Structure 1
Amino acid sequence: MKSILALLALLLSFPVAAAQLTIELDHTRQTWQTADLLKHPQAQTVQIVDDVSYKHNMTYRAVPLAALLSGLKPQSHLQAVALDGFAAELSAAPLLEKTGARAWLAVEDPARPWPALAQGKPSAGPFYLVWTHPEAGHISPEQWPFQVSRIKQLQTVAERFPALLPDPTLAADDQVNQGFALFQKNCLACHRLNGAGDAQVGPDLNIPYNPTEYFGGDFLKRYIRDPQSLRHWPQAKMPAFAASVLPEHELDLLLDYLRHMAGRKL
């Protein structure tokens, strides 16, 4: 027994291993090592107020994400893939901003590992997309992917997954289409719909049943606002979407999209 405890203590004493991040753009592909990013000429120490994942202020060594996306156009579309299957869909324009809400790639130093996200869980490393002044860009929690292993340029969600599209006869500014845009920003990182999407974290939101079909009254809204208040279990991953992140009128638009798609099952 003592030898087992000694072995565990030895393993826990080892520093976090270095990692690598692959960035695949249409015009280039590059793999970055932890050490290279920590020594990047634009790397600096950044203070993150009320970090989305850690729920308190954090300090990171980070590189402006725009510095790693040279040549990318604002109208492009990216996906950040995490080690656990989380796949964040990201419009390039906010990532390239140098003022207001600014995106940073935080890099976990093996010599100074970050704390665990929760008891029994790993840290947010090795790479974590964080934001300074996120309130200036209306940045949602799904735009803070952690444990990132790859960032790749892709076609838009609508081009890749036509099964997600609302009725094509609807006007571009219809409430359902506005809700579709919010679904891409806030939900698609964890959920699929009609079997379409790259995420492998949460359940499909239309097959076999759409949540608007089994959440009565205002319970779906309450669940989105605070999942643990309706379904509490230790391993739950869905974050709470406060009104500061998803205002009430936007939540209504998101639900309009889900209700609409309940009638468009594949």
Structure 2
Amino acid sequence: MPPRLALLALLVVPLAVHAASVRFVREGTTVKEADVGTLMAACTPATIAVDDPNYGTRKRYLACPLAEVLRFGFGAPPDALGSADVFIRAWDGYDKPTSAAELAEPGAYLAFGDADVSHGGDLRWAPLGTRRIDPGPLYLVWTKPAQRDRLTRPWPWQIAEFEVVEFRKKYPHVVPTGVPRSAPAWQGFELFRGECIACHAINGEGGDVGPDLNVPRSIVEYRPIPQIKAYIRDPATFRYGKMPAHPDLSDADLDALIAYFRAMSRAKHDPHPTR
């Protein structure tokens, strides 16, 4: 292959690494599964411009409003899904709960391909990051300035599934049941639910991008507390990896997370005790 063509092949990722489809699930039951072509035919695709915090630059995507996609998948508009959470699952183990109301906001789009490298029905993506990730088949992006912060809006790629289910029904062993509601562990639980559970599990429930933090041993049982806090705030000072920094977390937030981990260390539920 000529050098220039070889370079071009490295700079563009075809939609082939993962199955180009997505599942729509209610409380564990699949209600619809559709490939990218079917989704695009069911909504109103448009080329949108996004200041993308994952790429760190302005990008153009072929995308549909996420509200249209959810209406197609669940047979009802997002505001009719009630108070249940919507879990966004990705092929890499990311599993993010968020509200239907948030996903229905104007500015939320489901992207099918990078408009600058896709041609006709040949949907492609520019590699993402130093690990040259393929974001396909589906990537959630946001167009409004107030939605660009990854700490307040999910920006998952490689989306495989949307599930509507109550958080406590899906992950009953993550909740610090039995701890007084005035205890700091509950504040830590809310922080874990918002910041951590997409990638980490407690008692086998949650994402699996990173390790389970409670079984077989809780992180507070084998790591010094100051080290845990420092790692959460800036993991790159310890090792290079996927975990993002959390400079926004206050000392009180970190104390609450430690209180939550300690509470859950006394409430272990190991789904794989024979491993």
Instruction: Please give the TM-score of this superposition, normalised by the length of structure 2.
Output: 0.74
Q: Show CA shifts across 1:204-256 (max 9, x none).
A: 10123322334435332221222121123xxx22222231xx45544443333
Q: Where does residue 133 of structure 2 map in the other structure?
A: 122
Q: Where does residue 178 of structure 2 map in the other structure?
A: 168
Contact 1:124 1:147 in 2 (8 A): yes
Q: Where does residue 42 of structure 1 map in the other structure?
A: 44
Contact 1:127 1:147 in 2 (8 A): yes
Contact 1:164 1:194 in 2 (8 A): yes
- RMSD, aligned CA: 3.4
Deviation, structure 1 residue 57: 3.1
Q: Which of 84, 103, 110 pairs up with 1:76?
A: 84
CA distance in 2 between counterparts of 1:135 and 1:168 reads: 37
2:258 is paired with a residue whose SS is helix
Q: Structure 1 unaligned segments of length 5 or more: list them.
A: none
CA distance in 2 between counterparts of 1:149 and 1:95 reads: 16
Q: Judge which range, 204-213 or 132-141, deviates more.
A: 132-141
Q: Where does residue 15 of structure 2 map in the other structure?
A: 16
Contact 2:15 2:136 in 1 (8 A): no
Q: Which of 24, 29, 32 pairs up with 1:30?
A: 32
Aligned length: 249
Instruction: Please give the TM-score of this superposition, normalised by the length of structure 1.
Output: 0.76
Q: Structure 2 unaligned segments of length 5 or more: list them.
A: 270-275
CA distance in 1 between counterparts of 2:34 and 2:260 reads: 39
Closer/same/farther in 2, CA of residues 97 and 15 from structure 1, 3 Å limit: closer
One-letter amino acid of the counterpart of residue 31, structure 1: E
CA distance in 1 between counterparts of 2:251 and 2:48 reads: 31
Q: Judge which range, 35-44 or 85-94, deviates more.
A: 35-44
CA distance in 2 between counterparts of 1:84 and 1:45 reads: 26
Deviation, structure 1 residue 170: 1.0
Deviation, structure 1 residue 137: 9.3
Closer/same/farther in 2, CA of residues 258 and 47 from structure 1, 3 Å limit: farther
Deviation, structure 1 residue 28: 8.2
One-letter amino acid of the counterpart of residue 245, structure 2: A
Closer/same/farther in 2, CA of residues 216 and 97 from structure 1, 3 Å limit: same
CA distance in 2 between counterparts of 1:152 and 1:128 reads: 16
